[in-house]
Amino acid sequence: MADYIYTMEIRLTPDQLKGVNLVQEVARTAGVTLYLTGGAIRDIISGFTIRDLDFTVQGNPLKLQKDFERAGAQLAGHDDDVRTLFLVLPGNVRAEIGMAHTEIYEKVGKPPAVAPASIQEDLRRRDFTVNAMALSLNEGSRGLLLDPFNGVADIEAKVLRVLHNYSFVEDPSRLIRATRFAARFHWPMEERTQQRYDSAKENKYIEHISKSAVGHEIAQLAHEDDPLNVVRALEKEDFLKVLHPHWTTAKVDTNGLTQLMKTRQQIVDLGYTVDPSAAVMHFLTAHLPEKDIADIRKQIPRKDLIEAWRDIEEHAKELAKRLLGKEAATPSRTWNLLSSARPEMVLFLAVTARQQSVAHKIKNFFTKWRDVQKRLPLPEMTELLITPQLPEYPKLARDVFMLLLDGKLRSHTETLKFLKPFAPPPPPPPPPPRRGRGPKAAAAPAPPAAEVAGKPLKGKGKNPAAAPPAPIPPLPAPAKNAKPEANPKPDSKAKPKPKVAAKPSKHAKSSAAEHPAKKPALHKSPGKKSKKR
Ligand code: ATP
């Protein structure tokens, strides 16, 4: 039997996984039954990007709002009709917590009667088989997959299948959803689903779409990996104008959008998490008049997206201004400024900057300056025992990086000269082996003298195999929502502290004595295994 918890754990990002744990903990404490549902399950199983987390609880999640906020979630909106909370979990993870419910459609074009229900009943009101699965996150049944419509089989077959014949009649927004998913996954509709889809289109059921569904579907566009492809598919089916009568692909800034998605991928490849949704909306509606844009915004249920989209140009302008000012007078200061800016803003500005020098600085930030890291003399640093085990290592590595960026350390020799005084003293030699006390002690090879003294072995080359190169010091993590430092400056005046080099610090002593495992690999005596090799 498939282990879906394991699959979930390896497929979610670390932040998403933390988000699952957060929601699980709140639900457990409140005593409500919780399931991961919908698109999240589909994407976990199919291997597509997991864009957001959809949870369903048996109970009213609106009552848990304060609990979620106390646990670190931010409220981004709510839908009182279907009792859904829209949250942003730490790490910018989007989540929806919905109430398990039934939807009874009595009349075409009229909203359904909503009633609380069990998870099994809730799955029956969903749009497609691949979206009608739930994974239990409850004690006793954690990991159990509820898949009453064989969604897993349809994921394997790569088809979209509605749950019953009236699906598009009951909720015509499913026509838009079918088009969107088909364009995104390149999965066709199963034959009968396609027939129902064609007939619903012919009968113009889409005219009965609810306002809230329109808002929901607009917001979903912002999170597509290839929004242009989806918008084109919607236009081809005559559904784009359903989202707004004046919206056509001619109103999209296609160049801007293409550039945005390309730059976004480059930034993601560098290890940043960046949410391009506000920028996507900006480019998707770039050539629409302000009034139409305002109308579109009003329909979106998540206020975080509305605000980010509304403010994006203003915030980018502010960042551009700072990049032109004193705060970014040197490469290191620019580095600090851009590292502490929100990645979303840097991304948007990278694509829209009008001033050449701004564009140039951002380009350097993502390309040239990163290569400067490679100039840190890692093998020599390891020999000098300047390794990540040292408490002062992160600051030292950062200072060297900043000085290299600013051209204040111009050569390998200069860099080593700067670093040497920071080398900690070698650890004290181990007590001499007691000879003649049992066969084992006598047989154990004595460590070579030079190694004991903490120096590289002569004749073994500069970089002994026993010493793995120290990892490249991490670049400053992009701090989301963090305000840049008022005066970010490298510690260029950081004077080498001869004290550190001359005398083992208290800390160095105690950590060497108390945590022998933490000693640099250079000092490990060669064990039997490595000898054999
Ligand atoms: P995406 O990857 O676009 O976020 P998703 O499937 O998660 O896809 P959401 O709009 O977030 O889409 O909806 C979450 C889940 O709620 C869906 O997977 C589906 O089970 C259900 N759902 C959403 N809209 C409808 C609808 N109109 N009719 C039936 N079920 C729906």
Can you give the pLDDT at residue 427? Answer: 79
The per-residue pLDDT for range 323-341, each reduced to its tens digit, is 999 999 999 999 999 999 9
Residues ≥6 apart with Cβ < 8 Å to 90: 15, 18, 19, 22, 72, 73
**pLDDT at residue 511 in the model:** 34
Q: What is the residue with the minimal CA distance to atom 14 of ligand 1?
A: 38
- DSSP letters spanning 99-134: E-EEEE--STTSPPEEEE--HHHHHHT-SBGGG--E
Looking at residue 425, its pLDDT comes to 87
58 pLDDT more than 90: yes
Q: What is the pLDDT of residue 435?
A: 67
Q: How far is the CA of 161 from the centre of ligand 1 (A)?
A: 14
* Tens digits of residue pLDDT in 390-399: 999 999 999 9
State the average pLDDT over residues 42-53. Answer: 95
Q: Give me the mean pLDDT over the 169-175 stretch.
A: 97
* Residue 290 pLDDT: 97
Pick the range with the lowest mean pLDDT from 135-149, 404-418, 449-463.
Answer: 449-463
Average pLDDT of the residues of the chain: 85
Measuring from each residue's beta carbon to the nearest atom of ligand 1, which residues come in under 6 Å? 38-39, 51-52, 54, 126-127, 131, 171, 173-174, 177, 220
Q: What distance in Å separates the CA atoms of residue 446 and residue 432, rounded to the nearest whole number?
A: 9
Closest residue CA from atom 15 of ligand 1: 38
Residue to mutate, 126, 209, 230, ligand 1, most ligand atoms under 8 Å from C-beta: 126
Q: Determine contact, residues 190/167, Cβ cutoff 8 Å.
A: no
Average the pLDDT over 28-40 and give the result. 97
- For residue 54, how far is its CA from the centre of ligand 1 (angstroms)? 8
**Which pLDDT value is given to residue 523?**
33
pLDDT at 146: 98
CA distance 353 to 320: 7
pLDDT at 502 over 50: no
> According to the model, what pLDDT value does residue 271 have?
85
Tell me how far the alpha carbon of residue 214 lies from the centroid of ligand 1, in angstroms: 13
From the list 126, 137, 74, the residue with the least C-alpha distance to 103 is 126
* 441 CA to centre of ligand 1 in angstroms: 68
Residue 529's pLDDT is what?
37
Q: Which residue has the tokens 């990007």?
A: 49
Tell me which of 56-65, 266-275, 440-449 is least confident: 440-449
Atom of ligand 1 nearest to the CA of 220: 3
- pLDDT higher than 60, residue 520: no
Round to whole Å and give the CA distance between 284 and 252: 4
Tens digit of pLDDT for each residue in 434-464? Answer: 765 554 444 444 443 333 333 333 333 333 3
Residue among 54, 154, 162, 221 whose CB has most ligand 1 atoms within 8 A, to mutate: 54
**Phi-psi sector, 143: left (phi>0), alpha (psi -120 to 50), beta:** left
How far apart CA 87 and CA 41 sit, in angstroms, is: 18
Show contacts of 61-66: CB within 8 Å, 24+ apart: 61/32, 61/85, 61/97, 61/98, 61/99, 62/99, 63/30, 64/26, 64/27, 64/30, 64/32, 64/97
What does the pLDDT read at residue 306?
Answer: 97
pLDDT at 431: 82
Strand blocks (E) in 21-174: 33-37, 53-58, 74-79, 84-89, 93-99, 101-104, 113-116, 134-136, 145-146
> CA geometry: angle at 96 spanning 278 and 82, to 5°?
115
Rounded to 5°, the CA angle 289-290-292 comes to: 70
Q: What is the DSSP letter of 160?
A: B
pLDDT of residue 40: 96
3-state SS assignment for residue 453: coil
> What is the predicted pLDDT for the residue at 45?
96
Q: Does position 293 have pLDDT exceeding 70, yes or no?
A: yes
> What mean pLDDT comes out for the span 127-134?
98
Task: Give me the percent of the chain exceeding a pLDDT of 90.
Answer: 75
Dist. CA 39 → ligand 1 center (Å): 6
